[in-house]
Amino acid sequence: MKQMLTTRDIYSAVKPLYYVSKAFGLAPFSYKKNKENGSEDFGFTCVDIVWTVMWLIGFAVGFTLHVSHDILYKQQDMPTKICIALDIYLISLYLTSITSLIMGVTVNRQKLPQLFAKVSEVDQTLFQNPEDKRVFKKARLCLIIQLVILTVVLGFLQCYNVYSFYDGTLWGIVVMISENFSYLLNTLVTIQFVNAVLMLKKRYARINRLLSDSEYRNMWSDVKVIEVVVVSNNTALKRPENGKEEELFRALRVIHCELHEAVTLVMSNYGFPIFMVTFWIFITIVFVLYYGLFFLQVVISSPTSAEQHEVVLSLCWCVFCIALLISVTVTCHVTTQEANLTLILVQKLILCCDLQNDTVKELADFSTQLSNMRIEFSPSGFFTLNLSFLYAMTGVICSHIIILASLN
């Protein structure tokens, strides 16, 4: 029975992503068992920090070798503007990886464990029934699918890259491996952030389902109390008789406050790394589109030219980065919408004519709390991740492509 419980929580759900992230130095902490109740949480060891530092050194060396290789071999026959764009792309790629590792092992080292501890505390309230535990199994399966897709896509792109452009030297293969690892690490940071946001969305959706349940709708017109499975401070709250609704809403207020703190932890941990990831995605899309258009002109003038591979690979990387950008912005947008929906549902409950004064007061306080604690996902305060940002980013990318294409 104890083993069953330990495998049905947020810690077991994120294990696939945790182990992959740990292999690349993005999780400088380890699982540890609680001897009292057998539960799992995160702890810190020196080995985890040393492993992350080794990855930092590896990316610093890889960046130096990559730039040197391109200057000596690849950039000799390229126009100056292509060479400059390539150098900016490499700087954004490796700088994003190095920044994510440095922040993960220093200022943000304890924030992820704090986030999971906070979410685990909320889950003890929201997901009590055995059937509720399926949300953790679904989350784990979703993570496994994402990692499999990532492995297949990046594996195909890198194999195609090696097949098309490997120059036969040891230096060349080291550069390609370094670039591949940097791409993978930046993508893992994106997947971590997206799943952390989705994790919060499911908790907000659970609150909204409690507020919009059919029994609640019956309560609006005729208060027929039922048993409600909600826990606050490990004490089950029920509504066996009239006059107890305010306790339920009080518990939901506490849960919502905890989730707002979890959102703050997510942005505190991923704020600047996601800003760097967004910068890298922008630079990459602009660069590969311009790079592909340049070689497309060569292919058109010489249909048998070997530059056809450059065009195809550029298009593939562009689609991959666009998919990352869409996943980040859409995930943040739908989570914000889910959190804002709670205020609408509370307002509907306030309009019920048969509620007691204490319940109405608790709902009014809940409404005020929701109005004052609206969430948004803003990487270090530079911009807000939503569909408006995606629209603006699309315009900026198109503008840069037009400007670069017009340069002689």
Q: According to DSSP H, which parts of 27-77 are helical?
A: 46-69
**367, exposed or middle or buried, with CB in 10 Å at 0-12, 13-18, 19+?**
middle
Strand, helix or coil for residue 225: coil
Q: According to DSSP H, which parts of 166-244 are helical?
A: 170-211, 214-221
For the record, the structure tokens of 72 come out as 């000596």
Residue 230's φ and ψ, nearest 5 degrees, are -140, 140
Per-residue pLDDT tens digits for 140-153: 999 999 999 999 99
Provide the whole-model pTM. 0.85
Distance CA 314, CA 320 (A): 10
Query: Which range marks the domain in which residue 231 is found?
Result: 2-406
Per-residue pLDDT tens digits for 66-112: 888 777 766 566 777 777 888 888 899 999 999 999 998 888 888 88
Q: Which is it for the CA torsion 33, 39, 40, 45, positive or negative?
A: negative
Per-residue pLDDT tens digits for 246-263: 777 788 888 899 999 999
Q: Tell me the pLDDT band of 341, cut-offs 50, 70 and 90.
A: very high
Structurally, the chain folds into a number of domains equal to 1
| Amino acid making up residue 107 | V
For the record, the structure tokens of 101 come out as 């590792």
Instruction: Out of 56-60, 238-242, 311-315, give the one with best mean pLDDT.
Output: 56-60
- Helices 134-165 and 15-23: crossing angle in degrees, nearest 10, is 30
